[in-house]
Structure 1
Amino acid sequence: MRKVRIDFAPPGLRRTLHRVPPNAWALVPAALVLVFSVVSGGLKYRDQLDAIARLRAQSQVQTAQAQGQQRQAAPVRAVPEAQANAVNAAVQQLNLPWRGLHDAIQAATPASVALLALEPDAKKNSVRITAEAKSSDDMLGYVARLQDVDWFGTVALVRHEINDQDPNRPIRFQIDAQWKAAP
């Protein structure tokens, strides 16, 4: 038969401590050592963070002072207008929306049309497309497909010619397409 514990006394700290098994009391010193080491490590970490913050503040002050001295020491040079225009034109040419432009043209190009050249003009937001087609219907269909692309505002066939030297007699043509300012 099992032991039955009947206890009518009110619960309290003293009674709870009395019921703790002896093996658990052996863990109390280990727990105290662990708590002490965690607290001391946390205090050391906080001290290190404070020291780093002080060093960062000092370096920012020194950097600000050095930049202030450099700004005062640097002479102001005027850039000639022609040079500024040339730099701005180069930057504008480099900032062309190549990926969107290429994807829009590639999506509209059928298999019967061969692209030969793409010549963008950043100042005019336009691109000149040189291509070859097997027939005039393919050429006109390509122009119509480019006009349907949302990327382009206006698309115009500039010139075309038949290549008599080629036995297939392809039609070589040029299209000017102006892309919208914010595609």
Structure 2
Amino acid sequence: MRALMLDFQPRRRSGPLGWSLLAAGVVLALTCVALGQHVSDQSSQQQGHLQTAQRVLTGDTGTKLSLTPAQIREQAQNLAEMRKVSQQLRRPWEHLFATLESMPRDNIALLTLTPDARKGQVRITAEARDLEAMLDFHRRLEASDELSDVSLLSHEIVANVPEHPVQFNLSATWEIGDANP
């Protein structure tokens, strides 16, 4: 009798489909690694350009030089100017606008409002129904907590309109106590 050969795990044979899938996977992995390296190089290059641009904008030459007295004075002036701008931005603009809007203006129409935060002044251009309304508006502005030293800069009676309204310009000092550093 012949010996019995039992093969419970047959040999697997790789076909062309398996080898082609393996090759495609290897090519895909190598492509991803190459693209990742390229993106990393581009990022490093862009970072270098950014640092160069920042040095140019800030005037940093890479070496630490001592400043001359003239440069120190110029920097101090620039710093003082930046502080003034910062102070202007911290002024309570909404409160000024709310104050002007809350005033009764039955016979007054506000045309323009030009605040000058640096000088702490406000210029108001308005139109009144008559001279008495203009003077009353002037008195109410002077009595407000926000504005003081209200001055009439100019006025003109509009003759070509039947009601003869009065156009006028006022200047006032804008008093605030909470915007100072």
Q: TM-score, normalised by structure 2?
A: 0.51
Aligned to 1:92: 87
In structure 2, relative to structure 1, the CA distance for the partners of 1:84 and 1:147 (3 Å cut) is same
Please list every run of 5 or more consecutive structure 1 residues that lacks an aligned counterpart in the other structure.
1-72
Q: Matched residue of 2:135: which SS?
A: helix
Aligned AA for 1:156?
S
Taking a change above 3 Å as real, the CA distance of residues 109 and 173 of structure 1, as seen in their structure-2 partners, is: farther
Contact 1:115–1:129 under 8 Å retained in 2: yes
Matched, 1:112 2:104: no
Deviations 1:8-67 (A, max 9, x none): xxxxxxxxxxxxxxxxxxxxxxxxxxxxxxxxxxxxxxxxxxxxxxxxxxxxxxxxxxxx
Q: Which residue of 2 aligns with 1:155?
A: 150
SS state of the match for residue 118, structure 2? coil
Compute the RMSD of aligned alpha carbons: 2.8
Which residue among 121, 124, 127 is the counterpart of 1:129?
Answer: 124
Picking from 140, 146, 158, the partner of 2:141 is: 146
* Offset of residue 168 of structure 1: 3.1
Match for residue 168 of structure 1 among 156, 163, 171 = 163
Aligned length: 111
Q: Percent identity?
A: 32
Q: Is the CA contact 1:108–1:149 (under 8 Å) kept in the aligned structure 2?
A: no
Residues 139, 83 of structure 1: CA spacing in aligned structure 2 closer, same or farther, 3 A cutoff?
A: same
Deviation at 1:134, TM superposition (A): 0.8
Paired letter, 2:177: A
Normalised by the length of structure 1, the TM-score is: 0.51
* Superimposed CA distance per residue, residues 78-135 of structure 1 (whole angstroms, 9 cap, x where no aligned partner): 6645644553443333223211111111122412100011111212221111100110
Structure having the higher helix fraction is 1
Bigger drift between 98-107 and 149-158 goes to: 149-158
